[in-house]
Amino acid sequence: MRYHAREAAGPLSGTLRLPGDKSISHRAILFAAASEGTSRLTGVLDGADVRSTIGAVSLLGAEVAVDSARVGLDVTVTGWGESGPISPSTPMDCGNSGTTSRLLLGLLAGWDVTVTLVGDESLSERPMARVTVPLAGMGAEFTTRDGRLPITVHGGAIRCGIHTIPVASAQVKTALLLAGLRGQGRTVVTEPAPSRDHTETMLPAFGVEVGRDLDELSCWIEGPTVPTACDMAVPADPSSAAFMVAAAILVPGSDVVLPDVCLNPTRTGFLRVLHRMGADIGVDVRIDQAPERVGTVHARYSGDLVATVVESQEIPSLIDEVPILAVIASQAVGTTRFEDVGELRVKESDRLKAVHEGLLALGVEARSGPDWLEVDGRAELSGAELDSLGDHRLAMAWAVAASIASAPVVIDRFEAVDISYPGFSTDLASLSF
């Protein structure tokens, strides 16, 4: 699908309730599927990736009922609990979802099942060895295609232990903890920097105690244990909010309010960077307790942005927002530098290369290296023809860039937004006068 994104006709204004958080939606469904009893989940993201997770747990034996609601999906899940998942008769299609595939590898590792995971062309090129290698050390067996999908999981008896992962990754951390549910003893995961901690905050709601040492960046669980069902409301996705925040601060005269946004500190690095750049953003916390901090984000036009350096320790908390932050940086005074962003090369696309090339096409001066990006500000954005490469974050970033461009930005494969934000273009248009 070719999408013609155009300059905003005027200021953006209004209150917009965004779709449910993708990371939380995935985990809520997976944890509920592994639980004893029936969980009722509200506000679940109705996106292609989450639909992949719903389909996967259904094939594994969980009973799932899905209903459309005013906000997202209402999902009722009766889990397999102590009886465990079943081996499906067909390969399990994870679509484009790295979260679905990597978390399932951990969830299945300790059960006596044989399951083959497949995915689309993009997912089949993403590295899985970062998950399968430590899980194999815990006792599971995997047949892989050079460390990539398709992967067949042969579950086994789990050996607990201590894992120090080389790159901060919420997906790897979660996979190891989920495998540890089936082990006898303590499974510990230590990271080099803080990654998203939804698993640590959500598992206790499902009856699984999680120990944490925030100074050592470690967390652990004691196994064996079986989660118990619970009811959970999914807040709005801060990664989706980033695009609406960006549009508001870039389009003159804009004033946009986003309620019920997940404000987990491991997800709001982009807000901290924007504050540092001088953006006019207010945050009002409404719920400040487990499982998640939730509140309202209020973003206004910010014409005096200044460049900054986004340092390596900040990257895990904003890795998905680098493309849109790069667009914002093109309007700041000075040069913004993103450090240690090599992880972007193994996302849905080589995002680092794609962001660099897309900025150049839009008339922005930018430079990149193996794991860094520099963006010069005060650019006058021109029209361009860009390819999303099937990457939802790129598709939305280029659409926001078009809102301040001198000519339309034509985006190929724009349907990629369905992965995380199916109604993105409609919602963005709804904020225009």
pLDDT per residue as tens digits for the range 130-144: 999 999 999 999 999
Provide the pLDDT for residue 287: 84
Query: Considering the entire predicted model, what is its pTM?
Result: 0.94
Q: What is the CATH number of the domain that holds 418?
A: 3.65.10.10
- b/e per residue, 153-165, with b = 16+ CB within 10 A? bebbebbbeebeb
Contacts of 364 (CB under 8 A, 6+ apart): 330, 375, 376, 379, 381
Residues 242 and 262 in one domain: yes
Residues 372 and 305 in one domain: yes
Q: Which residue in 332, 327, 385, 335 sits closest to 351, CA to CA?
A: 327
Distances from the Cα of 86 to the Cα of 103, 155, 346, angstroms? 17, 11, 31
Question: Are the beta carbons of 188 and 161 closer than 8 angstroms?
Answer: yes
* Alpha-carbon dihedral angle through residues 388, 392, 393, 394, given to the nearest 10 degrees: 10
Of 233, 266, 298, which one is at a domain's C-terminal end? 233
Contacts of 101 (CB under 8 A, 6+ apart): 94, 117, 119, 123, 128, 149, 151
Residues 248 and 395 in one domain: yes
Provide the pLDDT for residue 44: 98
> Looking at residue 379, what DSSP letter applies?
-
Residues 343 and 243 in one domain: yes
To the query of whether residue 231 is one of the catalytic residues in this protein, the response is no
* Residue numbers of the domain that contains 196: 22-233
User: Based on the structure, what is the number of domains in the chain?
Assistant: 2
Residues 144 and 293 in one domain: no
Provide the pLDDT for residue 289: 72
What's the alpha-carbon Rg for the chain, to the nearest Å? Answer: 21
pLDDT 10s digits, 33-90:
999 999 999 999 999 999 999 999 999 999 999 999 999 999 999 999 999 999 999 9
Residues 200 and 348 in one domain: no
Residues 412 and 366 in one domain: yes
Residues 45 and 167 in one domain: yes
Residues 297 and 255 in one domain: yes
Residues 71 and 109 in one domain: yes
SS3 255: strand
Q: Is the dihedral of CA 143, 148, 150, 153 positive or negative?
A: positive
Check 21, 46, 49, 320 and give the catalytic one.
Answer: 320
Provide the pLDDT for residue 433: 61
C-alpha 328/C-alpha 336 separation (Å) is: 10
Provide the pLDDT for residue 432: 85
Of 233, 260, 277, which one is at a domain's C-terminal end? 233
Distances from the Cα of 355 to the Cα of 46, 209, 215, 235, 387, angstroms? 27, 40, 34, 28, 11
Encode the chain (433 residues) as per-residue pLDDT tens digits.
999 999 999 999 999 999 999 999 999 999 999 999 999 999 999 999 999 999 999 999 999 999 999 999 999 999 999 999 999 999 999 999 999 999 999 999 999 999 999 999 999 999 999 999 999 999 999 999 999 999 999 999 999 999 999 999 999 999 999 999 999 999 999 999 999 999 999 999 999 999 999 999 999 999 999 999 999 999 999 999 999 999 999 999 999 999 999 999 999 999 999 999 999 999 999 887 778 999 999 999 999 999 999 999 999 999 999 999 999 999 999 999 999 999 898 777 799 999 999 999 999 999 999 999 999 999 999 999 999 999 999 999 999 999 999 999 999 999 999 999 999 999 999 998 6
Residues 75 and 197 in one domain: yes
Distances from the Cα of 97 to the Cα of 149, 280, 316, 330, angstroms? 12, 34, 19, 30
Of 176, 202, 233, which one is at a domain's C-terminal end? 233
